[in-house]
Amino acid sequence: MSGITFERHENYCAIQFTHELRSMTWDQTEAATNRIVQMISESHLRNVLVTAPGMEALPDGVLGVLLKVWKTLDPKSRKLIFVTESASLTAELEGSGLLQQWKVLKNRESALKFLQLDDTREIDVMQLRNDALNNEPSAGSATAASAQKVTTEPFTFENQKRYCLIRFHTLADKLSWSDQEAMMTAAISQYELANAQNLMIDLSEIRYINSGGVAGMIRLWKSSQKRDGHFSVVCPSADVLNVLKASGLTKVWSITEDREDSAYDLGVSHSALAEKRERTLLVVVSFPCALLAAAFLIPMFLKRESVLGVNSQLAALLLSSAAGSTGLLGILREEGFRRKLCIVSTVVALLVLSTVWFKENPISFRKKYPEYNFQRD
């Protein structure tokens, strides 16, 4: 018996999940899923029966398979019937919110009666685990999988110029813990292969997050830390935000309500880039001006009683004023190494400005200038 079997009849398709599905790896289940999607698409049938004999809970990955199948059908006439007598399995489907579109019936006969169909002979039966184990999907299967990836995968990955975007879809919050772990591993692998270091996580479609989802988010954050990238989360849902607050992650992460604010926090939006250039200008002005101001004090000390000494101190005071004002702004707006440079610039500027206090210097608040006589060099 295979983990997944497919039956194509004259008027409907039937998919059966068995307990052997639990022994299939994520890659095997994914390959089988893509094969199902391709076969249903090629059959051009609008009715699908799903059975899970003897099961009291959905195996990992089954819900994702069913969502892919559902989206493959014609939206105008599609019907999906889940056949089960298990009350717990029915409750699980109800909890996912999918029974608003699907229907649960207790046996195959009642399902066919509901569809107003006869139980015709099987035209095609496939055990999809063999395809999965061989891991050799056909070209048509690859095409079908590619077409479905945009809308039916639990997440999409976008490699932007200055940042990477991982957008989680509604399916992500319905996966089991093991499926979520596999999903996060795939997302991290794509991020680590990308050129951009900054990482934005978009949870706009997520309305619920469990401990597995939080653990996966932490893995993504740690991956960005290893690459020295900035990390930001788009989370408009109050329920999801409350879970992140309870985990203490809002104190560590940048969490915004939309992608524009998130891009600003990452420093990749147009306004953030413009502001970054302005802050860079502050460092470029303050530090060199502070060094020049200190250098101009040398002639002043050597030629205090000369015109050169006066002009040197005057130039040093002007440069230190520029260095001090831009350095103070840089301290308030910069961070990291640039902020340290601004602190050094400001300290140097204050030391240079303090020369006006000493009476022996050419320019001093304590000197009586009418009694001052300049000497030519």
Query: pLDDT, tens digit, for every residue of 137-165?
Result: 443 444 333 333 333 478 888 888 888 99
How far apart are the C-alpha atoms of 269 and 305, rounded to whole Å? 55
Domain that holds residue 205: 153-266
Confidence of residue 132 (pLDDT cuts 50, 70, 90): very low
How far apart are the C-alpha atoms of 361 and 367, rounded to whole Å? 8
How far apart are the C-alpha atoms of 225 and 285, rounded to whole Å? 31
The letter for the amino acid at 174 is K
Which of 234, 266, 298 corresponds to the end of one domain? 266
Contact 228, 298 (CB under 8 A): no
Span 288-315, mean pLDDT?
86
Span 298-322, mean pLDDT?
86
- On whether residue 168 sits in a domain, the answer given is yes
Contact 279, 333 (CB under 8 A): yes
* 105 has pLDDT over 70: yes
Is the same domain home to 255 and 281? no
How far apart are the C-alpha atoms of 202 and 246, rounded to whole Å? 19
Is the same domain home to 254 and 285? no
* Mode of pairing for the β-strands spanning 47-51 and 13-17: parallel
Instruction: Quick: pLDDT tens for 1-30.
Output: 457 777 777 788 888 877 777 777 666 776
- On whether residue 128 sits in a domain, the answer given is yes
Query: From edge to edge, which strands make up the β-sheet containing 103-105?
Result: 103-105, 79-83, 47-51, 13-17, 4-8, 124-127
Is the same domain home to 110 and 198? no
The pLDDT > 70 percentage for the chain reads 81
Q: What is the pTM of this model?
A: 0.44
Span 335-360, mean pLDDT?
88
Is the same domain home to 295 and 352? yes
Contact 120, 87 (CB under 8 A): no
One DSSP character per residue, 311-343 reads HHHHHHHHHHHHHHHHHHHHHHH--HHHHHHHH
Which of 76, 111, 146 corresponds to the end of one domain? 146
Instruction: Quick: pLDDT tens for 244-296.
Output: 888 888 888 999 988 888 888 888 776 666 766 777 777 888 889 999 999 98
Confidence of residue 220 (pLDDT cuts 50, 70, 90): very high
- On whether residue 108 sits in a domain, the answer given is yes
Is the same domain home to 117 and 251? no
- On whether residue 334 sits in a domain, the answer given is yes
How far apart are the C-alpha atoms of 339 and 345, rounded to whole Å? 10
Is the same domain home to 188 and 84? no
Is the same domain home to 94 and 211? no
Q: How many CB atoms lie within 10 A of CB 185?
A: 12
Query: Greater confidence, 93 or 236?
Result: 236
C-alpha distances in Å from residue 257, one per residue of 113, 158, 215, 288, 292: 48, 19, 21, 40, 46
What is the predicted pLDDT for the residue at 307?
Answer: 84
How far apart are the C-alpha atoms of 234 and 255, rounded to whole Å? 6
Average model confidence (pLDDT) across the chain: 78
* 93 has pLDDT over 90: no
Query: Greater confidence, 321 or 140?
Result: 321
| CATH, residue 48 | 3.30.750.24
Reference 64, options 140, 147, 142, 173; nearest CA is 173
What is the predicted pLDDT for the residue at 85?
Answer: 84
One DSSP character per residue, 174-238 reads GS-HHHHHHHHHHHHHHHHHSS--EEEEE-TT-----HHHHHHHHHHHHHHHHTT--EEEE---H
**Range of 111-115, 135-139, 294-298, 358-362 with top mean pLDDT:** 294-298
What is the predicted pLDDT for the residue at 129?
Answer: 40
Is the same domain home to 112 and 236? no
Apex CA 355: angle with CA 349 and CA 356, to 5°? 110
What is the predicted pLDDT for the residue at 272?
Answer: 62
Is the same domain home to 137 and 210? no
Instruction: Quick: pLDDT tens for 223-241.
Output: 999 999 999 999 998 888 9
Domain count for the chain: 3
Contact 155, 169 (CB under 8 A): yes
What is the predicted pLDDT for the residue at 125?
Answer: 45
Confidence of residue 118 (pLDDT cuts 50, 70, 90): low
Which of 146, 165, 193 corresponds to the end of one domain? 146
How far apart are the C-alpha atoms of 48 and 78, rounded to whole Å? 8
Q: Is 239 exposed, middle or buried (0-12, 13-18, 19+ CB in 10 A)?
A: exposed
Helix axes 259-266, 270-302, angle to 10 degrees: 20
* 209 has pLDDT over 50: yes
Is the same domain home to 57 and 131? yes
The mean-pLDDT minimum among 105-109, 117-121, 162-166, 217-221 falls in 117-121
Max CA pair span of the chain: 119
Confidence of residue 304 (pLDDT cuts 50, 70, 90): confident
What is the predicted pLDDT for the residue at 225?
Answer: 92
- N-terminal to C-terminal alpha carbon distance within the chain: 105
- On whether residue 376 sits in a domain, the answer given is no
Structure tokens that stand for 122 in this block: 């099987």
What is the predicted pLDDT for the residue at 203?
Answer: 92
- On whether residue 377 sits in a domain, the answer given is no
C-alpha distances in Å from residue 151, one per residue of 64, 72, 148, 170, 186: 12, 10, 6, 10, 17
Instruction: Quick: pLDDT tens for 73-83.
Output: 877 788 888 88
Is the same domain home to 346 and 330? yes
Is the same domain home to 140 and 160? no
**Range of 188-202, 328-342, 359-373 with top mean pLDDT:** 188-202
Query: Greater confidence, 135 or 39?
Result: 39
